[in-house]
């Protein structure tokens, strides 16, 4: 409702100090009214920085997240599995593109965000620093990693920042396909030979705890939660989302006839929720700090891909320049 009044079209990317009381009050009124904040609207510095960090790290995660699954493309057990996995990985590349585009509307270029990733200044989801050791990992990743991503991302479809919210709507539709293709692999393996079922159980054992860590530490320890909640970037706490995920996932695992690697897991009939054991946050911090099983490998592959793609980007830019020159000359000639 206040969007028009705050549009400062002559000065895109207007940012203000968070202590500018009148603008701040009008900004918060947009958010409280569930209207969207758009790129040219005034916004506090801290809101812009929070979104730049969150959206770009989300984009980096989509791109790095292609690696563990790309590892199995040449070894998929059938043509159908290969085609499905390929489509899923291509979707993740697309998610990266939508998200970099959304992040660019906050006044920083894709190259700058990319530089932050390549230099190690920006993080990506810790889960992608774990290896994919068997075909069953393709099932566990789709079922659990994409399943956890959906829990996190559905509320982001209502995020206060318009470009991010709109990108998330399409991404969530695709994530739901990813979750199902993963679960279907787990169903097939669980109903297969004893060796296949053991492979599915092993994948669940290895991915379960790192997936629970994907939701981040408890909100009491999380640095950015209070502002993100006030600005409606975040609708649920990390613990609430983790609980929703556990409540949805345990019955799915039981349907597979698999067990979860948590001896303290039990259903609390009084609350209707599953209670779980302690999460090893020291592992999370270690992996996030760069010392997970695959951090170095992931960045090495990403940097090599970036270097190998330089000539493509240069060729595309040269072509765009030539085309712009031709159009300019044609325009002059026509005048």
Question: To the nearest whole angstrom, how small is the minimum distance from the Cβ of residue 153 to Fe ion?
Answer: 8
Q: Which of 37, 175, 232, 260 binds Fe ion (CB under 5 A)?
A: 175
Question: To the nearest whole angstrom, how small is the minimum distance from the Cβ of residue 78 to Fe ion?
Answer: 21
Question: To the nearest whole angstrom, how small is the minimum distance from the Cβ of residue 65 to Fe ion?
Answer: 7
Site for Fe ion in 237-266 (CB under 5 A): none
Task: Please report the beta strands in the chain, taking only residues with DSSP state E, as ranges in sequence order.
Answer: 15-16, 43-44, 266-268, 273-275
Total number of residues that touch Fe ion (CB under 5 A): 6
**Could you tell me if residue 107 is left (phi over 0), alpha (psi between -120 and 50 degrees) or otherwise beta?**
left
Among 56, 65, 236, 218, CA closest to 157: 236
Q: Give the other-Cβ count within 10 Å of 216's Cβ.
A: 22
Do 18 and 44 form a contact (C-beta atoms < 8 A)? Answer: yes
Per-residue contact string for residues 79-118; x = within reach of Fe ion by CB under 5 A? -------------x--x-----------------------
Q: For Fe ion, which is the closer residue by CB, 157 or 265?
A: 157
Task: Please report the beta strands in 204-292, taking only residues with DSSP state E, as ranges in sequence order.
Answer: 266-268, 273-275
Site for Fe ion in 125-144 (CB under 5 A): none
Q: For Fe ion, which is the closer residue by CB, 14 or 129?
A: 129
Do 52 and 13 form a contact (C-beta atoms < 8 A)? Answer: no
Work out whether 69 is an interface residue with Fe ion (CB under 5 A).
no
Selected range binding Fe ion among 71-79, 174-182, 253-261, 292-300, rule: CB under 5 A:
174-182
Q: For Fe ion, which is the closer residue by CB, 24 or 150?
A: 150
Using alpha carbons, list the distances in angstroms from residue 126 to 130, 291, 295, 298. 8, 10, 9, 11
The rounded distance, in Å, linking the Cα atoms of 165 and 235 is: 13
Q: Which of 36, 48, 178, 302 binds Fe ion (CB under 5 A)?
A: 178
Cross-strand partners of 307: none
* Footprint on this chain of Fe ion (rule: CB under 5 A): 62, 92, 95, 146, 175, 178
């Amino acid at each position: 409702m206040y969007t028009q009044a705050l549009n400062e079209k002559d000065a895109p990317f207007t940012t203000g100090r968070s202590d500018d009381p009148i603008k701040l009050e009008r900004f918060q009124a947009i958010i409280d009214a569930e209207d969207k904040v758009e790129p040219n609207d005034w916004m506090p510095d801290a809101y812009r920085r929070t979104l730049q960090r969150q959206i770009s790290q989300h984009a980096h995660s989509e791109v790095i997240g292609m690696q563990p699954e790309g590892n199995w493309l040449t070894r998929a057990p059938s043509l159908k599995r290969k085609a499905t996995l390929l489509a899923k990985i291509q979707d993740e590349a697309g998610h990266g593109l939508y998200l970099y585009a959304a992040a660019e509307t906050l006044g920083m270029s894709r190259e700058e965000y990319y530089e932050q990733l390549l230099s190690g200044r920006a993080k990506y989801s810790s889960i992608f620093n774990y290896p994919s050791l068997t075909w069953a990992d393709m099932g566990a990743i789709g079922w659990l990693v994409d399943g956890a991503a959906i829990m996190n991302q559905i509320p982001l479809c209502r995020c206060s920042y318009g470009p991010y919210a709109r990108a998330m709507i399409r991404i969530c539709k695709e994530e739901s396909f990813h979750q199902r293709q993963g679960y279907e692999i787990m169903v097939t393996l669980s109903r297969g030979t004893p060796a296949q079922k053991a492979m599915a159980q092993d994948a669940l054992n290895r991915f379960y705890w790192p997936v629970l860590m994907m939701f981040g530490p408890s909100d009491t320890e999380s640095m950015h939660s209070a502002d993100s909640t006030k600005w409606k970037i975040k609708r649920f706490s990390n613990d609430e989302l983790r609980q929703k995920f556990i409540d949805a996932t345990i019955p799915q695992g039981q349907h597979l006839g698999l067990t979860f690697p948590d001896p303290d897991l039990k259903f609390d009939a009084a609350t209707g929720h599953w209670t779980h054991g302690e999460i090893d946050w020291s592992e999370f911090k270690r992996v996030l700090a760069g010392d997970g099983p695959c951090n170095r490998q992931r960045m090495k592959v990403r940097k090599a891909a970036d270097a190998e793609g330089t000539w493509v980007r240069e060729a595309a830019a040269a072509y765009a320049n030539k085309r712009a020159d031709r159009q300019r000359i044609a325009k002059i000639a026509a005048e």
